[in-house]
Structures are given as C-alpha cells and as structure tokens.
Chain A
Amino acid sequence: RKEVEQDPGPFNVPEGATVAFNCTYSNSASQSFFWYRQDCRKEPKLLMSVYSSGNEDGRFTAQLNRASQYISLLIRDSKLSDSATYLCVVTLRGDTGRRALTFGSGTRLQVQP
C-alpha cells in the first residue's frame, strides 16, 4: 500500500463549481499535513497546512480526520487559475528524527470556462 494515496483525476469542473479532493495516508504516526499545488512543469508550492481543527483560507478549506487517516481539500467557486495538480503531503517523526515530506502522486484539476 502506498504511504500517501490520491485519486489522480483529472477532475474537470466548470468555473464556479465546488470540488473536493481526498487523500489517505497509511502511517498512523504521521504528524504534519500539507496541501501543495504544482503547475505544469513548475515546482510545487505550499497551498496550506492542515490542522487537526480544520482550517480555511479564502475559497480553500482543509480538513484532517486522524481516526480514518485522511485529509481533504475543498475548493469553492473554482477559477480557471485553480487548474493545477494538487499534492497531498505527509510527514512523520521516525526513530532518527523527522522524516522527509512524503508526497502523494497528485490530483489534476482542470477548470473549464
């Protein structure tokens, strides 16, 4: 089983739609959670951290469910500029200290005019 799993998509949605991505992680000791965004042939950029209580940043809402080991990202009122690949990222503290960020393969979003 992959450590971090995402539906690869693509998700094709019209402008203004609400879209949700889920991500599951296998290691219950995982400690930190993030959503990154990657545009075509560019470097990944942090979109938002994900906190246990859930957090919101404008049109974006992230949720964490530790019991079921999944995190989600909700995008409201989709814009054309939201078209990108969204990467779910998890870290955990191993025996030797912090382990590197572990990335899911990403979910592609294409917002249509």
Chain B
Amino acid sequence: NAGVMQNPRHLVRRRGQEARLRCSPMKGHSHVYWYRQLPEEGLKFMVYLQKENIIDESGMPKERFSAEFPKEGPSILRIQQVVRGDSAAYFCASSPGTGRNTEAFFGQGTRLTVV
C-alpha cells in the first residue's frame, strides 16, 4: 500500500507563473488536507477536501489559490501568478474517514521556489 504521493518534489517557478501541486492519497483514503510550511515556521492548515467537495477552506488565501479533489485522479493545489512569498513546502495528508482518533498520513511534500 503506497503512502501519500506528492509530485513534483521540487518546483521552481518565475514570478507570475502558475504552480500545480498534486497529491494522491493513500489507497482507501477519501479525505485530503493541504498544509503550507514557511521556512523555520510551523504547519499552517490551508484546505480540507473530500472527493468532489471542499469541506473547509478557511486557511486558503482569498486570491490566487484554489484546490480540488475530483472523483478520479489526484487532488490539485493550484497557485496562480505566484509571488516570492509563496515559496514554501506544501504538504498533503490523507485519512480514511472521520472516526475518532483517525490520524492522517503525510506525503513528502512539494518544495516550491519562486524566483
């Protein structure tokens, strides 16, 4: 059972370009979370999705950022018109459900560098 897969592992974009980050959850997991970690800082929640639904996007910046988790295929975090401040590690986690003490498992992250 493969773990949570994120790609690419490293992504370099020029200011103004678009960044697409992909996350394939663990087999059998239907819940996906995206987190951002700036250098030397803690993890910040961005968005929580189930298949075809956004459950909680309270941590998403209002502009330029969007996320989806289609019926088929990976979850995508999309950042339009990237700026230097978007440079960070973006982690995806998945879990099988919402039961008590259901932990989430993380992918290895995508490190975005905006130049």
Interface residues of A (CB under 8 A from B): 31-32, 34, 41-46, 49, 51, 87, 93-94, 96-106
Interfacial chain B residues near A49, Cβ < 8 Å:
101, 103
Interfacial chain B residues near A34, Cβ < 8 Å:
101, 103
By beta carbon, the residue of chain A nearest B4 is A43
User: Considering residues B33, B41, B102, B108, which has the most beta carbons from chain A within 10 angstroms of its beta carbon?
Assistant: B102
Question: Does B105 belong to the interface (CB within 8 Å)?
Answer: yes
Question: Does B106 belong to the interface (CB within 8 Å)?
Answer: yes
Interface size on B, residues (CB 8 A): 24
Q: Which 5 pairs show the lowest CB-CB distances between chains A and B?
A: A105-B42, A98-B98, A43-B106, A100-B48, A103-B43
A93 to B55 alpha-carbon distance, docked (Å)? 12
Interfacial chain A residues near B56, Cβ < 8 Å:
94, 96, 99-100
- In the complex, the answer to whether A103 meets B35 with C-beta atoms within 8 Å is yes
A102 to B33 alpha-carbon distance, docked (Å)? 11
Question: Does B109 belong to the interface (CB within 8 Å)?
Answer: yes
- In the complex, the answer to whether A32 meets B42 with C-beta atoms within 8 Å is no
- In the complex, the answer to whether A101 meets B93 with C-beta atoms within 8 Å is yes
A-B contact pairs, 5 of them (CB 8 A): A32-B101, A34-B103, A44-B43, A97-B55, A101-B104
CB within 8 Å for A32 and B102 given contacts A99-B48, A100-B48, A100-B56: yes
Interface residue from B43, B48, B105 paired with A46 (Cβ < 8 Å): B105
Interfacial chain A residues near B103, Cβ < 8 Å:
34, 46, 49
**B3-36 interface bits toward A, Cβ cutoff 8 Å, 1 = contact, 0 = none:** 0000000000000000000000000000001010
A89 to B23 alpha-carbon distance, docked (Å)? 21
CB distance from A35 to the nearest CB of B (A): 10
- In the complex, the answer to whether B108 meets A101 with C-beta atoms within 8 Å is no
User: Considering residues A32, A96, A100, which has the most beta carbons from chain B within 10 angstroms of its beta carbon?
Assistant: A100
